[in-house]
Structure 1
């Protein structure tokens, strides 16, 4: 079974692939909720932390080269590399 972090990484990529452009954190969170609400509701503790954990998943994806680097900026959207 995949870890919560791996699941969230998959969902971030899914959201970005669906829109094919840079998305804000809010847009990604809305996409995840719209497409995975049932999964989140049945996920135990992840239900209470998923929006926070989503940001960490994005950072891991940046470190892996899947998302574009923010080049030190604290704001801005998420975009596939």
Structure 2
């Protein structure tokens, strides 16, 4: 079953498929088209998944996998160099925090 952390990989996967950047609508459409069955079987997460996608994008942005949007809510989401190269299988747990500074494990 899906967990909230899974959406980090889904967002990166979607952006890679979209050529590195896309609107929130393009990203959520991709996730729905590719992972609809998983989403439908995810229990309560089915009712929050679009919120969870936005949470995942903010997490990825905070940890350098997505480029900053500088407060522009309509700006497309863009992969950073690190986002292009991160291993999706390790993404949910590959970052730990030390104070306010993200570090690699």
Q: Do the structures match in fold with TM over 0.5?
A: yes
SS at match of 2:78: coil
Identify unmatched segments of 5+ residues in structure 1: none
Once residues 77 and 69 of structure 2 are traced to their aligned partners in structure 1, the CA distance between those partners, rounded to angstroms, is: 8
Once residues 41 and 79 of structure 2 are traced to their aligned partners in structure 1, the CA distance between those partners, rounded to angstroms, is: 28
Residue 10 of structure 2 is aligned to residue 11 of structure 1: yes
Map 1:29-44 to 2 at 5 A.
29-44=28-43
Judging by fraction of residues, say which structure has more strand.
2
Computed over aligned residues only, the root mean square deviation of the Cα atoms, in angstroms, reads 1.4
Larger RCO: 1 or 2 (CA < 8 Å, sep 6+): 1
In terms of Rg, which structure is larger?
2
Give the drift of 1:4.
2.1
TM-score of the aligned structures, taking structure 2 as reference length: 0.71
**Cα shift readout 1:34-77 (whole Å, capped 9, x = no counterpart):** 00000000000110000111101100000010000011222211
| Counterpart contact for 2:40–2:46, Cα < 8 Å | yes
Residue 48 of structure 2 is aligned to residue 66 of structure 1: no
Matched residues, number: 80
SS at match of 1:5: coil
Judging by fraction of residues, say which structure has more helix.
1
Question: 1:53 corresponds to which residue?
Answer: 52
Identify unmatched segments of 5+ residues in structure 2: 81-105
